């Protein structure tokens, strides 16, 4: 079924290309793959500007052209013929040249009246299969993702095998738009992105910074209780460190380089923390009695992500990880994973997200692409499978999803719109400790290589927040809300009492906002509700006389009048329990 929908989506990218070229004869189509839930097609439109206002016209013409299509005919052709057939399309000619250099077979396809360069993977019954689609958006995209190349017009669409699936997805997209973390981040005054600072480099306001701090403190608190200790590492390093670790090869195009004016050394803005933590481990000898050794550090790493892929907090160039690395023996892997699973269950339970686990194992048909001993892989995979069973995890095995240095458990969190996100991931690493020559002495006095377990509870704080803001629609639970309570005096003469209430709450470490604006009561309440405050406290003559507050709870409305002490006790208990 998955293969079938991919063929449908890819075929629709061709249909979109045929239609745009039909409506705007000067347009040149570049690439058009199937993607998650849909497809896109890139165009060089010349001077023509396409917007969503054109979609109805394009969709109507797509349906008309579709009536003339049949099964895609795919033919192998020579380089000479390919260049002749696509002589007017510089993007196809560039691909043909690259394919020829790589010795790849060149194929073209035609569903009836639209010749295109493509390796295949299409619907064999387009008129039946390609009915349930919708164009969604237009964006700019550099040819081949390179900022030095021309900016093309990218049209995105979505498609499913039935109208019901399409309608459900479109409804979900509509709901997701309301929850867009970029819009809510601005409305709730959490973060901003400045062109003067740069794309992918978000700035957090006092409220947003506090939200980050609360989440990170809880993440560290949970791990400290299990024995992880804080360490610190610098943000730049000699590039040799990443050449040894393998990150130079893996992230070479994404590294930010820093040149020393004095020594002329080439330094790197760190893309990962693990090599630094290994150097802390390597600073002194270790015995098996010392293990496991557990380090954690919340710090920012840097990757030069492509400008076209940067998006709000979900894809950034500065990535703050609540990171940790554990050095242990093979026999301790199960114990460490058990502790990390416990921490993960508690954390995601408190933020109200359901988890399932993907056991990411090797592709047994292609073991050469993985480093490390085969028997070690087998043992580690068996351990992870046993852990998943013992913990009654909702799990599935995904062969081929392992990291090149070891298997892992990817925790997939489901949000309020039933979208699944990979967040926490404990990863086993057999490779880096060996590359760095890390050792410990076993009971027989022999040197052994420790196993390293990488783990970040939120993954990255920025990406976690992008998911969590949309999951909650900005309705953060009381314990996480940057401002927990808004105090609203009915009029100016009630300000003194409002300040007294504020002081009492602040003595109990409750985060308060006092609305002193000279506005109507109704307007002040609406503004506080727009900020999604968990509680509003209304104070006037009646409240002053009773030494009380009138309480409104988000989502529940008016709870009536309550003595201040009683309200404080209620709030403190709710915060302590971290109710979702």
- Give the H or E element holding residue 151: strand 151-159
CB count in 10 Å sphere of residue 554: 16
Give the DSSP per-residue string, 411-442: EEEE-TTS-EEE----EEESSHHHHTT--EE-
Question: What are the C-alpha distances in Å from 359 to residues 353, 389, 427, 534?
Answer: 19, 11, 10, 38
Decide if 408 is catalytic. Answer: yes
In this structure, the strands spanning 485-489 and 535-539 are parallel
Q: Is 325 annotated as a binding residue?
A: yes
Q: Which of 156, 160, 169, 131 is nearest to 32 (CA)?
A: 156
Please tell me which residue in 278, 321, 427, 432 is annotated as part of the active site: 321
Is there a contact between 108 and 99 (Cβ–Cβ < 8 Å)? Answer: no
Here the contacts of 262-269 (C-beta below 8 Å, separation 24 or greater) are: 265/238, 266/238, 266/239, 267/236, 267/237, 267/238, 267/239, 268/236, 268/237, 268/238, 268/239, 268/241, 268/242, 269/235, 269/236, 269/301, 269/302
Q: State the catalytic residue, choosing from 132, 181, 303, 317.
A: 303
454 is in an annotated binding site: yes
Selecting among 7, 10, 14, 408, the annotated active-site residue is 408
Q: Out of 129, 322, 323, 410, which one is annotated catalytic?
A: 323
Q: Is 118 annotated as a binding residue?
A: no
**Residue 145: partners with Cβ closer than 8 Å, 6 or more residues away:** 306, 308, 309
Active site annotation includes 181:
no
Q: Single out the catalytic residue among 270, 325, 358, 362.
A: 325
Considering only CA atoms, which of 434, 442, 451 is closest in space to residue 285?
A: 442
- Active-site annotation holds for 235: no
From 454, 494, 532, 552, active-site residue: 454
Name 502's Cβ contacts closer than 8 Å, sequence gap at least 6.
487, 512, 514
Written as six digits, the tokens of 163 are 């109208």
Q: Is 274 known to be catalytic?
A: yes
Q: Of 181, 247, 274, 410, which one is the catalytic site residue?
A: 274
Report the C-alpha gap between 8 and 37 in whole angstroms: 11
Catalytic residue list contains 127? no
Count of Cβ atoms closer than 10 Å to residue 21 Cβ: 17
Q: Which residues are annotated as a binding site for Zn(2+)?
A: 274, 325, 454
Q: Which residues are annotated as a binding site?
A: 274, 325, 454
Q: Which residues are catalytic?
A: 274, 303, 321, 323, 325, 408, 454
């Amino acid at each position: 079924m998955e293969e079938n929908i991919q063929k449908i989506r890819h075929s629709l990218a061709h249909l979109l290309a045929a239609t745009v070229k039909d409506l705007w004869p000067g347009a040149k189509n570049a690439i058009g793959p199937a993607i998650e839930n849909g497809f896109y097609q890139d165009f060089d439109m010349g001077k023509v500007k396409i917007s969503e206002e054109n979609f109805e016209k394009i969709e109507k013409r797509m349906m008309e052209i579709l009536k003339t299509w049949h099964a895609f005919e795919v033919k192998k052709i020579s380089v000479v013929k390919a260049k002749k057939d696509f002589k007017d399309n510089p993007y196809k000619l560039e691909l043909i040249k690259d394919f020829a250099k790589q010795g790849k077979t060149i194929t073209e396809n035609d569903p009836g009246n639209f010749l295109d360069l493509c390796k295949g993977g299409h619907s064999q019954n387009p008129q039946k299969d390609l009915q349930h689609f919708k164009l969604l958006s237009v964006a700019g995209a550099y040819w081949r993702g390179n900022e030095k190349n021309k900016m093309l017009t990218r049209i995105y669409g979505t498609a499913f095998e039935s109208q019901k699936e399409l309608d459900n997805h479109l409804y979900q997209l509509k709901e997701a738009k309301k929850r867009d973390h970029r819009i809510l981040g601005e409305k709730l005054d959490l973060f901003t992105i400045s062109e003067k600072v740069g794309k992918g480099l978000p700035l957090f306001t006092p409220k947003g910074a506090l939200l980050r701090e609360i989440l990170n403190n809880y993440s560290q608190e949970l791990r400290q209780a299990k024995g992880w200790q804080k360490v610190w590492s610098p943000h730049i390093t000699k590039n040799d460190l990443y050449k040894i670790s393998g990150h130079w090869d893996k992230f070479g195009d994404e590294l930010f380089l820093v040149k020393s004016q004095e020594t002329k050394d080439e330094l790197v803005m760190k893309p990962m923390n693990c090599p630094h933590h290994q150097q802390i481990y390597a600073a002194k000898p270790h015995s098996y009695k010392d293990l496991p050794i557990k380090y954690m550090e919340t710090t920012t790493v840097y990757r030069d992500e492509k400008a076209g892929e940067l998006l709000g907090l979900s894809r950034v160039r500065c990535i703050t990880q609540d990171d940790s690395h554990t050095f242990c023996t093979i026999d301790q892997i199960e114990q460490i994973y058990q502790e990390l699973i416990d921490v993960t269950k508690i954390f995601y339970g408190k933020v109200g997200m359901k988890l399932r686990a993907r056991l990411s194992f090797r592709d047994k048909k292609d073991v050469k692409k993985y480093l490390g001993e085969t028997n070690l892989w087998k043992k580690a995979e068996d351990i992870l499978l046993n852990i998943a069973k013992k913990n009654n995890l909702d799990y599935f095995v995904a062969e081929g999803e392992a990291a090149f240095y070891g298997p892992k458990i990817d925790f997939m969190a489901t949000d309020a719109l039933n979208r699944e996100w990979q967040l926490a991931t404990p990863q086993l690493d057999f490779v880096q400790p060996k590359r760095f020559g890390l050792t410990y002495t076993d009971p027989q006095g022999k040197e052994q290589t420790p196993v390293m377990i990488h783990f970040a509870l939120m993954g990255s704080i920025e990406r976690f927040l992008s998911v969590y803001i949309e999951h909650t629609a900005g309705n953060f639970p009381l314990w996480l809300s940057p401002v927990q309570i808004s105090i609203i005096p009915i009029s100016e003469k009630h300000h003194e009492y409002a300040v007294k209430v504020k002081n009492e709450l602040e003595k109990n470490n409750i985060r308060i906002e006092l609305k002193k604006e000279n506005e109507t009561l109704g307007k002040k309440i609406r503004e506080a509700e727009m900020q999604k405050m968990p509680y509003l406290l209304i104070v006037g003559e009646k409240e002053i006389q009773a030494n009380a507050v009138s309480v409104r709870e988000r989502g529940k409305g008016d709870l009536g009048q309550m003595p201040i002490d009683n309200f404080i006790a209620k709030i403190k208990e709710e915060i302590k329990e971290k109710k979702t």
